[in-house]
A and B are shown apart, each in its own frame.
Chain A
């Protein structure tokens, strides 16, 4: 784990930079979109302690600005009551000359967290993990696809028939990407360096125009903040260079893109997943919890209609609720035998996830396994794709409706994430499913225009 991220975080100023004329206060909604507003310094000074009012509409609308209906709102939502974003001053950075940026959490008037606030969910799980003596170290591999056209051109084309940036030949690790692709990535990591986000590597990925950018291991809240901001930076650089970037699970009918999470649990700075003989007992229990909750967590890890189009055997994403030591065909890969690098790679999430909800789901599963001493099923030592139905390894839910049903019925995720969040999310996915099927989505197409229009630019 790199110490740089922690160092940058701890030395950040807690007041706007001297040249700032405005502060952008921001946080993700449930869909993973980074939402916020730019406020003057005077306004920011007045509200930084008490918070800034936001309409609950940010949790109430879908990606087409329709109000999401289908469940009984808790009392605090009322008829779209205001909620309050309180900035976390440890996240304050100079975003660009004249503009600072700070990430916040949503709170109710009584000072309690908004139960469906994604960032507060991570806080809750981190605190609960701490109560049993562990701190999580996490990292993410961000995948995205770049296109030559500007966003305006992409919109005019309905996000179809775009030209992959850097050449149309797909080849992982290929160094022959053209200069425009390299220039883009170098500009991205330059921006990351300037706002203090520690990255470890970037490379060409499997599909034409695709890249993978690895953020450095750190604590869960910082990782989520870095992840959300990295997406924003990748968009802004694309705007500046008149290209387009998409985090959609499948921006074209070809390859999909994921977001693998790497996780280890530390105690007193020592990696508790390490054991000289293989997975430690703690690692095994974390695996047990992650697999016990995987069917329900799929609804969070594969949040949109298009997310499920990735679940095809032999194409990369896991398709079975499975784990194995150094098995990249399984849903959870255990990396063992090294005091520093022993970890779990949770391979289920798509690139279109909400970072905070994803980490909350991963931490909930691992914590459930640790607290309840859940033994994992036998690891899969064969290829975990294409397994016979009767081999005892279940398939990952392959539709949005199967996944929300599994989440709705999952007592562990209900306990660790809260009934209110689960009910909210299940209702929102039911709405999404209904919108897709009844408003023009085509389940029989490889990728329908409805999906491109709805998901290409978001989250």
Chain B
């Protein structure tokens, strides 16, 4: 983490009820931030930052014009597109690297540090992530009957199957990378250049892309 040290992480707590809202007709970055903060809230991650922070944090992409504002108000969190004239803090992040900060934050260092932590919820085991992914996307028209996953992890090769039927779609690759894409933390198409392999038709690839968008961006 570059230059963000003021925030002291608190022990993970049980899920608390926090309100994370996004504007209507939100662009992908707003959706991505909103979904990520909800995941953190659900996991009891960064509880202090989410529930006690007050202020506005501008979040900028390091390599595209994407920009959003996270407004913290004691547990009520609003994510909107664009940035205000004078945010309390600004962070520049790599959206293809799970919000990794790029350069020094500006403004309120503690608020910036808390936001970065809140945007990096812990990821679960790849099998649990795949199960959650499957449950969230299986009803999308055209999603294959069966999702087969083969993961190469520290303990060797492991596999899992989700669904039932004749149409199978296989995803194989490093467990860490699979965890990232199934949880929505990482981009599916980018994962194909990071060691993930797939076996299926182009049509299946197409609809699976939509499924990963649903998990990552809720769109």
Contacts and interface: CB of A to CB of B under 8 A. Distances in A.
Interface string A429-450: 0100010011111111100100
11 contacts: A72-B143, A72-B204, A72-B206, A401-B25, A430-B219, A434-B219, A438-B28, A438-B66, A439-B64, A441-B64, A444-B67
Shortest 8 CB-CB contacts between residues of A and residues of B = A72-B142, A73-B203, A442-B65, A69-B209, A72-B207, A69-B206, A70-B210, A79-B202
B213 interface: yes
B65 A444 contact: yes
Given A72-B143, A72-B207, A399-B25, 4 more contacts: A70-B213, A73-B206, A79-B201, A444-B65
B64 A438 contact: yes
Task: Give the interface size class of chain A.
Answer: 20 to 34
A399 B213 CA distance: 19
Query: Which of A70, A71, A438 gathers the greatest number of chain B CB atoms within 10 Å?
Result: A438
Contacts of B213: 70, 430, 434
B174 interface: no
B44 to A, nearest CB: 30
Interface in B189-203: 189, 201-203
Interface of B: 25, 27-29, 64-67, 81-82, 95, 141-143, 189, 201-207, 209-210, 213, 219
Interface of A: 67-73, 77-80, 399, 401-402, 423, 427, 430, 434, 437-445, 448
B25 A69 contact: no
A439 B27 CA distance: 13
A59 to B, nearest CB: 12
A204 to B, nearest CB: 35
Nearest to A445: B65
Nearest to A60: B202
Contacts of A444: 65, 67, 82
A72 B203 CA distance: 5
Given A72-B141, A444-B65, A444-B67, A437 B29 contact: yes
Contacts of A442: 65
Nearest to A397: B25
A70 B206 contact: yes
B25 A402 contact: yes
A430 B207 CA distance: 12
Contacts of B143: 72
Contacts of A438: 28, 64, 66, 95
B65 A443 contact: yes
A69 B203 CA distance: 8
